[in-house]
Structure formats: structure tokens, C-alpha cells
Amino acid sequence: MTIGIGIMGCGMIAGFHSKAIADAAGAKLVGCADRRAEKAAAFAAENNCKAYESLEAMLADPEIQAVSICTPSGAHLEPALLAAKAGKHLLVEKPLEITTDRCDQIIKACDDAGVQIGVTFQSRFHQSSQLMKKAVEAGRFGKVTMGDAYVKWYRTQEYYDSGAWRGTWDLDGGGALMNQAIHNVDLLLWLMGDVVEISAMMDTMTHERIEVEDIVVANLRFANGALGVIEATTTAYPGALKRIEISGSEGSAVIEEEDIHTWKFLNEDESDEDIRQSMADKTSTGGGAADPSSIGHHGHMLLVEELVAAIKENRPCVIDGREGRRSVAVIEAIYESARSGKRVKLG
């Protein structure tokens, strides 16, 4: 059984979804739609698929079993609700939506319709991330004391000027944190667990004509008692790979994109030296640090294959709507703290 997929929204990220679907076992790109018909037609010609005149027309096609939503972040809700109501499974670009309320509406619609939903946090599938997760679960860090995420990227003014939705609260949902750093926020929560308290500051320091932040720093307390920091910016020339650091009483590890830079434990095992050697130079792209198109599509392909498996096995995706909501909730709290100047506690 092959799962026919339609793409809604034919901007830059849709090209990565198209490549991922083409390479994914059990999936086929059937067609695409966009609010601008000429954009859908051009995308369809380039990707050898159908161009529909509207989302509704795409959803009416029985060849489509799932929809990949690639619209701007704050425009995920409407197509997601329509797709779920039509009985189509969903793969939604990050963030799931720009507020927890809008995330909850998507989650409920999928629950009510009995369809599966996957959120594109492909960094979880990197080998470096998987190794870090296994080390955490195995207790190799001893008492985990710190968990930190750093995204020091660079975006030109032309990047923000290239689309009217970029840098707006309504459609981007935020700046360096919601748009760029959310992958690392998701990774940090996946590795460290829930955040219970946040104190943050943010500003717009070098970019013009944007409503949102281009720099933010947040202090965190996790439910396990550990402390941490999230730093995110799009004004750090020339841009560096995103970084996660986990520290504890018996070990420390640092990953940058797909590379492992530090891997040291009080109780070493026979695999540790091999990990240090083999994982030192794994990243083959710019990781989006300075160019948002400088990423690979392998992680997206694994997400498509996971969605296909979830549909066939009638089970939730490993990164489902509830998982996708977690990072949005933390980012909402960071923005609330930065605006109010007060600590924010999460339930």
C-alpha cells in the first residue's frame, strides 16, 4: 500500500518535502495546492505531480491519503482542520502552530477524525541526537544538572524582506526563537523533559521592518531540578551550527547539528572512543545557520516514512501533535516572561 500525499503551500520548504516523499518508502507525491494558483502550477511542473486549484479540490481527490502542510507558521490551522475533517492524515511543518490554543485545535480535530499527525522535528532523527537520548535514558550523566540550547544564526535584512509574512507575529509567530530555534527547543525538551519555570529577555537589535525578536535569552528550570539556558539569535554573523549541551555529575556531551564535539563520562564504555571518532565530522550541510535552504532532506524523509508506518499500523506518530505542542508552550512562556519582565511557571 502506497500513501498518496499532497503538499499544501509551495514555498521553499515544500521542495524539501517533495524530495523526502520521493525518497521515502511507501509514499508518493500526488499533487500540490497553493493560494496562488501559478505557484502551484510551477511547483507541479517541477515535481511531476498534479496542481489543484484549491486545497478543497486536493482534499476531494481519493488518491490523497495525507497532506503535508508547508504554509507559513501562522497559517497551519485552517488547512489542518480542513484536512482532518476530510479524513486525511497530516504532516505539519514546524511549528505545529504559533500558539498552544491553535495547536490544541489541530490535535482535537485529528483525534476527532481518527487521523494521524506528524510534526517535522527531523533533528530528532540525527544519529547525534539519538546517541544523546540513549545516554540520557541510560543514566550515563549521573544527576543531570544542566541542559542548554544555542542557536546563533545569521539572517540578512533581505531574508526578512523577501516575504510579507516573515518577521510578523501573525504569520511567523515570533522571530529567532519560534522560527529558527524551535528545532533546538524541541530537542532540549526531548532530552531533558518538561520545563517548569522560565525567566527571559528579548530584543530586536539589527533587523529593520520586523515585529519580532532577533535575539532572545531564557533561563530555565526543568521538572527534574536541572537548570538550563536557551539562546537564540539571527544576528550572529556568519552563523554557527545549532548546539545542545547536557551536563551532569558523571558526564558531559555536546552536539552541534549532526556532530558530537564532547562525549565524556566518568564511567567510560567500549563504544565511547568510537563515538568520539566517528561522530566528529558528520554534518554535511550548513545546517541552516546562514542560509535557510542549506539543509538536507534525509530527516524529512524519515518523518514521511514514520507517518506512513503510523498510518499502516494505526498508531500515533512518534512526533505527534502533543509532542509538537511542547516546544510551542515553552516558547509562549519565554515570550510572556520577556514581555512582562517576570518569571513564568508552567503547569
Distance set, CA 136 to CA 121, 132, 143, 187, 209 (Å): 19, 6, 10, 12, 42
Query: In total, how many domains does the chain have?
Result: 2
**Residue 335's CATH number:** 3.30.360.10
Statement to judge: residues 144 and 98 lie in one domain: no
Statement to judge: residues 191 and 339 lie in one domain: yes
**Residue 314's CATH number:** 3.40.50.720
Q: What is the DSSP letter of 75?
A: G
Is the pTM for the entire model greater than 0.85?
yes
Q: From CA 228, how far away is CA 243, in angstroms rounded?
A: 13
Statement to judge: residues 143 and 263 lie in one domain: yes
Statement to judge: residues 245 and 312 lie in one domain: no
What is the residue type of 204?
T
Q: From CA 311, how far away is CA 318, in angstroms rounded?
A: 12
pLDDT in tens, the chain (347 residues): 899 999 999 999 999 999 999 999 999 999 999 999 999 999 999 999 999 999 999 999 999 999 999 999 999 999 999 999 999 999 999 999 999 999 999 999 999 999 999 999 999 999 999 999 999 999 999 999 999 999 999 999 999 999 889 999 999 999 999 999 999 999 999 999 999 999 999 999 999 999 999 999 999 999 999 999 999 999 999 999 999 999 999 999 999 999 999 999 999 999 999 999 999 988 888 888 888 888 889 999 999 999 999 999 999 999 999 999 999 999 999 999 999 999 999 98
Statement to judge: residues 86 and 210 lie in one domain: no
Please give the radius of gyration of the chain, using alpha carbons only, rounded to the nearest integer: 20
* Cα-Cα end-to-end distance for the chain: 42
Statement to judge: residues 274 and 303 lie in one domain: no
Statement to judge: residues 240 and 148 lie in one domain: yes
Range of the domain at 30: 3-122+297-320
Statement to judge: residues 86 and 7 lie in one domain: yes
